[in-house]
Amino acid sequence: MLAHKAVCFRITKYHAGESWSLEDSSPIIHSDTFFGGLAWSYRELYGKDEVEAFIEACRRKALLFSSLYPCKIGGVTLYPLPLNFFIDVRELFKERPWAVSEKIFRKLIEGVPVRELKDSLKVHGGVLYAADEEPVELRMVKSYKNVRDRLVGSTDLWRLSYYVLGDGCGLRLLYRV
């Protein structure tokens, strides 16, 4: 029997790369990135044979993971914006949402038109919320460091971006076993 479960990781800051540069970061830790880290850790702990069995179980879809989205633990959770609603939402809001709260997600998948919801929605930090919901505290921070190449004596500016979550927030993972 399949079981769908959720787990929240209580963390304060994280970097999820969007490209080859450490300067770009995503508010979402995508499922392939999470799975790669999990498989690597599993191999380090249990060895090559065990990780191959773990990967095979995932291939048989005995274990599925979602991407990790920011959440307020015990409160608002975020989901991806359903693709078939993307065009409607883009026409109604200046800021392009990358996620929706669970409350809005459920209304959208039940078939409630976005235009009917417009007056009861707000966009905060690229997330579509119901007007009465408290947003997940999430902000991007850029860290600047001046580094010196000791071989040639030149200097360069090194940048790293990461996300900081507020008190009581974390990342939520959905999985099926």
Sign of CA dihedral 113, 90, 66, 55: positive
- By the 8 A CB rule, do 28 and 165 touch? no
The predicted structure's pLDDT at residue 52: 92
Residue 164 belongs to some domain of the structure: yes
**Beta pairing, strands 99-101 & 121-124:** unpaired
Verify that 127 and 101 share a domain, yes or no.
yes
Domain with 140, as residue range(s), is 7-29+136-170
Residue 34 belongs to some domain of the structure: no
- pLDDT of 133 strictly over 60: yes
Q: What is the pLDDT of residues 29-69, one digit of tens each?
A: 999 999 999 999 999 999 999 999 989 888 887 788 899 99
Q: How far is residue 138's CA from residue 12's CA, in Å, rounded to a whole number?
A: 10
Q: What is the pLDDT of residues 80-121, one digit of tens each?
A: 887 766 556 667 777 778 899 999 999 888 888 777 888 888
Verify that 94 and 125 share a domain, yes or no.
yes
Verify that 128 and 85 share a domain, yes or no.
yes
Q: What is the mean pLDDT of residues 12-38?
A: 89
DSSP 134: P
Instruction: Among 6-10, 93-97, 100-104, 151-155, name the one with the lowest average pLDDT.
Output: 93-97
Which regions of the chain does DSSP assign to beta strands (E)? 4-9, 13-14, 64-65, 69-72, 78-80, 99-101, 121-124, 127-130, 138-148, 155-165, 169-176
- pLDDT of 167 strictly over 90: yes
